[in-house]
Amino acid sequence: MTDPGFLQLGALVAAALLVGVSKTAVSGVGAISVALFAAVLPAKQSTGALLPLLLVGDVLAVSTYRRHADWSALLRLLPSVAMGVLLGAVFVARVDDAVMRRTIGVLMLTIVGHHLWQRRRIRTTNAAPGAPEAGAFANRGALTSGAPGASDAPSTSAQHGRALFFGLVAGFATMVANAGGPAMSLYLLSVGFSMLGFLGTAAWFFLIVNLVKLPFSVGLGLIDADAMVLDAVLVLAVPIGAFFGRAAVRRIDQALFERLVLASTALAGVNLLR
């Protein structure tokens, strides 16, 4: 791993700060951390260097939002996520940096497009005469609620199909480039979680998944001594970012929260296509 210059190190510090913010406030900005690391370091090295910082952020997020997790949603996701992680490990072992980076960019943009299409379809349905109000954030006022309201819950088959799709994408993307955040974020948005339910469920999800990824990353050579030295320089930025994230989370409007997730995911995806 080459030593980063002053500007590059500044970009990595900003990325570490955003890790803390993403774990405690706006999950989608974590995709920007992935993009910054990939811009400064080769794709495979960036994946290994970022993972320990993400684990630090996961511990901070769980300590803050652990009571707001929806374990039924987590249990629906974990089997397909495990399959995605295994597929991602095989993919990492076989492709070069450019293919890895562009694949993740395509995945991010595809997920954003899918979510925007879903929102448009829901709005069209709701516009019909007599249609009940629904949508990803129909329970916008329930900031402290952990899960969507019963009236907004999709059918069981739809829940399992959605969990299978997003779980596979999240598992694959998180193993390849620590980029499972967009898929997980959009899954939670699509099933109608409030902000704290979103953050609590995502906190436990990524702590579990990143711990599972750790031996794979070491075995594939993604985490080495150079990566750990770099992380020692950057690690204090993560709790600083988490502090600002916790201070901001209750001041973020729910609709603005959703737009920030979508916009940051799309920008990061475009950047990774370069």
- Size (the chain), residues: 274
3-state helix, strand, coil in the chain (%, to 5): 80, 0, 20
Q: In 3-state terms, what secondary structure has residue 211?
A: helix
**Average per-residue pLDDT in the chain?**
80
- Is the model's pLDDT at 190 over the cut of 90? no
SS3 sequence, 89-127? HHHHHHCCHHHHHHHHHHHHHHHHHHHHHHHHHHHHHHH
The predicted-structure confidence for 32-83, as pLDDT tens digits, reads as follows: 788 788 888 887 888 899 999 999 999 999 998 888 888 988 888 889 999 9
Structural contact between residues 242 and 24, judged by C-beta atoms closer than 8 angstroms? yes
Q: Which of 3-12, 19-28, 74-83 is the most confident on average?
A: 74-83
**Sign, Cα dihedral of 199, 204, 209, 211:** positive
pLDDT in tens, 85-127: 999 999 999 988 788 778 777 877 877 787 777 677 767 776 6
Least confident segment among 105-119, 130-144, 171-185, 199-213: 130-144
